[in-house]
Amino acid sequence: MTARIEVGDGSPASPRYAVLVGRGLLADGGSAVHGLLPPGVARVLIVHPESMEQRAAVLAAGLRERGLTVHLGLVPDAEAAKTATVAAQLWQQLGLAGFTRSDAVIGLGGGTVTDLAGFVAATWLRGVAVVQVPTTLLAMVDAAVGGKTGINTAEGKNLVGAFHPPVGVICDLDTLTTLPRADLVAGMAEVVKHGFIRDQRTLDLIAADPTTACDPSGPVLAELVTRSIEVKAAVVTEDLREAGLREILNYGHTFGHAIEQVEDYRWRHGEAVSVGMVYAAELACLAGLLTEAEVAEHRRILAAVGLPTAYRIGPEVDREARWAALATAMGRDKKARGSTLRFVVLAGLGQPQRLAGPSDDLLRAAFDRVI
Ligand code: GLY
C-alpha cells in the first residue's frame, strides 16, 4: 500500500506537493516519478551517485518510454557531492542540453544528493522543478522533504543554499533493504527525533519492538517512515522558511553539529544527533524542564535502535580542550543570535521549546553528563 502525505498549503509561501511512501515505486520504470512531474516537462536530469547507477538507468528508460529526453548526472557520493565544483558541472550539463524553465531535475540518492539536486534546480534559470527520490532513511524522513537545499563551502556545511520545495517526493522503501545497517540506524535518529518532538506513537512502536522497528522489509518501519514524514510535513507547511516553528526540527542538532565539526565529520550525522538529543535532554533536566525519567527515556529509546547515547573520547584527548572546541562550534550554530546560544529543548515529551542563553555552567554540566 502506498501512503500519500501532502506538504504545503498551496499558498505562495508554502507550495503544495505530495510525498509517496511505498514499495516497488521505482520498479516499474518511472510511472510514479512521471506522475509527479509538472505538465510540459520535456527534459529531465537524473542526479545520482554511482551506487544508484542501475536504478537511475531503469528510471531513465521508463521516462524515455514516456516521451521525455533524459540526461544522467553522475555525482560523487556523500558530502563530496555537495560542492560548488560539482554544482557547476551539473549547471554546465543543463546548459549544454538546453534545459529551459519548463524542464526538471530528479535527485536520486541519499541526503547529500537530494540537497545538491535541489540546489541545482533552485538556481538553474532561478528555479526549475525538482522531484526528490530519496534512497536512504535519513533522506526520506528529513533531507528530501521540506525544501531545504544547499552545498558546503570550506567554511562549513550547508552555508550556501536556498529554500526550494520539490514538486514531489517518492520514498520507495525497497531501497532501504540494501542500505548498510549503520546508515539505517543513523537514519533512525531523525525518526526518534520526530517522536520526541511530536509523536508519542513513534516512541511506543520503537519501544515495543526495536528489532522489528529497524527491519527495512517490515511493516513497522513503513509506518515509522510515514509518521515521521507526517510530522515534518506539518511543521514545514506551517513554517517553510524557519521563521520560528521549524526550528524544532533541529532538536539535538546544536550539540550534534558541534560533534560532527570537532570530529571532522567522521561521525554519521544521525549518530551525532543522537548524542545531541541526550545532551539537550540533560540540559532541559538541569533547567528544570524535563524529569530524570524522561532523560532516561531518551537514552532507552536511542540505545534500543543501536544509536550512541554518550560522547566517548579516548584517554589521549584533553577533556577541557574538547569542551572548549565544542562550545565554540555551538556558537556558530545557525540558531545562535549574536553571542546568545539557542537550544531546542523539551518541556516534557512532545513539548518542544527554545532555551536561549543558558549559562556556561549549565552547558558544561550537561556536557559532563554525556561525556
Ligand atoms: N533538517 C531540519 C529541517 O529540515 O528543517
Whether 142 lines ligand 1, by a CB cut-off of 6 Å, is yes
**Distance in Å, CA 248 to ligand 1 centroid:** 9
Question: Poorest-confidence range of 91-100, 156-165, 176-185, 281-290?
Answer: 156-165
Residue 303 has pLDDT above 70, yes or no: yes
Asked whether 148 lines ligand 1 (CB < 6 A), one says yes
Q: In the CATH scheme, what is the code of domain 181-215+218-370? A: 1.20.1090.10
94-98, 107-111, 287-291, 330-334: the lowest-pLDDT one: 330-334
63-79 pLDDT, tens per residue?
999 999 999 999 998 88
The per-residue pLDDT for 335 is 62
Sheet holding 69-75, edge to edge: 3-7, 17-22, 168-172, 129-134, 104-109, 43-49, 69-75
Domain ranges of the chain: 3-178, 181-215+218-370
For 252-294, how does the pLDDT look when each residue is reduced to its tens digit (9 = 90+)?
999 999 999 999 989 999 999 999 999 999 999 999 999 999 9
- Quick one: average pLDDT of 10-24? 95
Cβ partners under 8 Å of residue 25, min gap 6 = 2, 32, 170, 171, 172, 174
Tens digits of residue pLDDT in 312-363: 999 999 999 999 999 999 988 666 666 789 999 999 999 999 999 999 999 9
pLDDT value for 334: 64
**CB-ligand 1 contact for 270 (6 Å cutoff):** no
User: For residues 35 and 235, what is the distance between their CA atoms, to the nearest angstrom?
Assistant: 25
Residue 185, classed as helix, strand or coil, is helix
Q: What is the pLDDT, as a whole number, of residue 157?
A: 84
CA of 235, closest atom in ligand 1: 5
Q: Which residue has the cell 517553510?
A: 240
pLDDT at 17: 98
Fold of 3-178: Rossmann fold (3.40.50)
* CA 242–ligand 1 middle distance (angstroms): 9
pLDDT in tens, 232-249: 999 999 999 999 999 999
Cell of 218: 517490515
From the list 58, 41, 57, 60, the residue with the least C-alpha distance to 104 is 41
The model's pLDDT over 117-148, given as tens digits with 9 standing for 90+, comes to 999 999 999 999 999 999 999 999 999 999 99
Is 146 close to ligand 1, i.e. is its CB under 6 Å away?
yes
- CA 58 to ligand 1 center in whole angstroms: 30
The whole-angstrom separation of Cα 165 and Cα 169 is: 10
Residue 90, SS3 per DSSP: helix
Confidence of residue 154 (pLDDT cuts 50, 70, 90): confident
Q: Which atom of ligand 1 is nearest to the CA of 146?
A: 4
